[in-house]
Amino acid sequence: MNHRTTNRLRLLIVPLLAITMAGCSSWVQRIVTYSIENFGEPILPADVRVISPILPYTGLAVLWGGHATVMIQIEDKVFMTDPAFTKTVGMLLHRLVAPGIDPAALAKVDYTLISHLHFDHFSFGSLEMLPKNGKLLIPPGAAAYTPEFGFVETIELQTWESIEESGVRITAVPVQHFSGRYGVDIPWHPEKGYTGWVIEYKGKTVFVAGDTGYHPEYFKEIGRRFSVDVAVVPIGPAGMGSANSLGGRIHVSPRGAVQIFEDVGAKIMIPMHHRTLSYGSTADPMIPQNLLQAVIDEKGYQDRIHILAIGERRVLMEEPSGQTSGTPQ
């Protein structure tokens, strides 16, 4: 798009948004203003782009696609969290870095897990890009918002409810966030519309926190109920909490993320939900990663917390000796 076209679009969008934003929060206005100012700006390429995301043999591998999009492969099963592949989110949030996963390169996704209703986690356009040979799992209260995408089945789980099939068990677990998709619908079901997930398969357990603030009991209870191998935990957006705080009610800080990791008793932590999108802040998007690194150094967690580049895959458990899971079907 050339500069002349971009400027014309800005002239068209600005007066319309000035009307529609009347009465909106300063946070929403800040996001919209930033998006207008950066309309047409190039998106940086992903740090890494894996040609074949699905491995023929592995014990447990994690591939971070940016934001909360994480591909988890446990032997022959593939799980995808909060897929976000579009250039913008809700036509407002500006993407800073391109997706690290190409959905066209995926032969299958057995289970797609949605953490909550917000546009940057429940992206309709991104779900359309995925193969439809698996199941879509959504949080409590999300069924009314969910179109028919063509997945084998769409399943809404309540907190602590599980599905179990073919050796896979997936459980919806409590986290602390907020509900709604369009702003005005937040009061309709304030305690629904968001969840974390615990995935269990072949003796391996992964906890995915989705988007959450810190809660003094939820994560300890998850740790009591499950023996977690890997915890996938958000550490952003940038500017959430000071270096020594646990963050806010709805978003943990990097230190709060490490506290969640400790509460659930996981062996390994993979951070996500940072570097990828702008939320109307001019803060350096590397702040959460840098703060996390400081906590890692302080606690000596260099071998337990793995900061991935966008698009990077990390094999955390090799296939057991003498066994093969077979090529994913």
pLDDT tens digits along 279-311:
656 678 888 899 999 999 999 999 999 999 999
Whether residues 49 and 149 share a domain: the answer is yes
Percentages (nearest 5) of helix, strand, coil residues in the chain: 25, 25, 50
Q: Give the model's pLDDT for residue 11.
A: 40
What is the domain extent for residue 253? 44-317
- Within a domain: residue 322? no
Whether residues 8 and 77 share a domain: the answer is no
pLDDT tens digits along 106-117:
999 999 999 877
Whether residues 167 and 289 share a domain: the answer is yes
Whether residues 55 and 21 share a domain: the answer is no
Tokens 């337990």 found at: 304
Residue 8 CB contacts under 8 Å (≥ 6 apart), including other chains:
none
In the predicted model, is pLDDT for residue 197 greater than 50?
yes
- Within a domain: residue 284? yes
Q: Residue 177: which CATH number? A: 3.60.15.10
Whether residues 157 and 26 share a domain: the answer is no
- Within a domain: residue 325? no
Name the pLDDT band for 206 (thresholds 50, 70, 90): very high
Phi, psi of 162 (to 5 degrees): -125, 155
- Within a domain: residue 329? no
Whether residues 257 and 170 share a domain: the answer is yes
- Within a domain: residue 279? yes
Whether residues 82 and 161 share a domain: the answer is yes
Share of the chain above pLDDT 90, in %: 53
Q: Token pair of 297, please?
A: 């150094």
C-alpha to C-alpha distance for 258 and 123, rounded to whole angstroms: 27
Comparing 141-145, 243-247, 300-304, which segment has the lowest mean pLDDT? 243-247
DSSP string, 123-167: -HHHHHHS-SSSEEEE-TT-GGG------SEEEE--TT-EEEETT
Kindly list the distances between the CA atom of residue 231 and the CA atoms of 5, 250, 272, in Å, as whole numbers in the listed order: 45, 18, 10
Q: Residue 110, class by beta-carbon neighbours within 10 Å (0-12 exposed, 13-18 middle, 19+ buried)? A: buried
In the predicted model, is pLDDT for residue 203 greater than 90?
yes
Name the pLDDT band for 175 (thresholds 50, 70, 90): very high
Q: Kindly report the number of other CB atoms within 10 A of residue 181's CB atom.
A: 17
Phi, psi of 77 (to 5 degrees): -105, 140
Whether residues 22 and 98 share a domain: the answer is no
Whether residues 87 and 21 share a domain: the answer is no
- Within a domain: residue 324? no
Name the pLDDT band for 33 (thresholds 50, 70, 90): low
Q: Token pair of 201, please?
A: 């398969």
Q: Token pair of 236, please?
A: 């952003």
- Within a domain: residue 140? yes
In the predicted model, is pLDDT for residue 123 greater than 70?
yes
Tokens 């963050």 found at: 247
Look at residue 36 and give its three-state secondary structure: helix
C-alpha to C-alpha distance for 46 and 231, rounded to whole angstroms: 23
Look at residue 172 and give its three-state secondary structure: strand
Q: Give the model's pLDDT for residue 98.
A: 92
Characterize 226-239 residue by residue with b for buried, 16 or more Cβ atoms within 10 angstroms of its Cβ, and e for exposed: bebbbbbbbbbbbb
Q: Give the model's pLDDT for residue 202.
A: 96
Q: Average pLDDT in the 13-32 region?
A: 43
Whether residues 179 and 79 share a domain: the answer is yes
Whether residues 137 and 260 share a domain: the answer is yes
C-alpha to C-alpha distance for 147 and 153, rounded to whole angstroms: 12
- Within a domain: residue 12? yes
Q: Average pLDDT in the 161-169 region?
A: 97
**How many domains would you assign to the chain?**
2
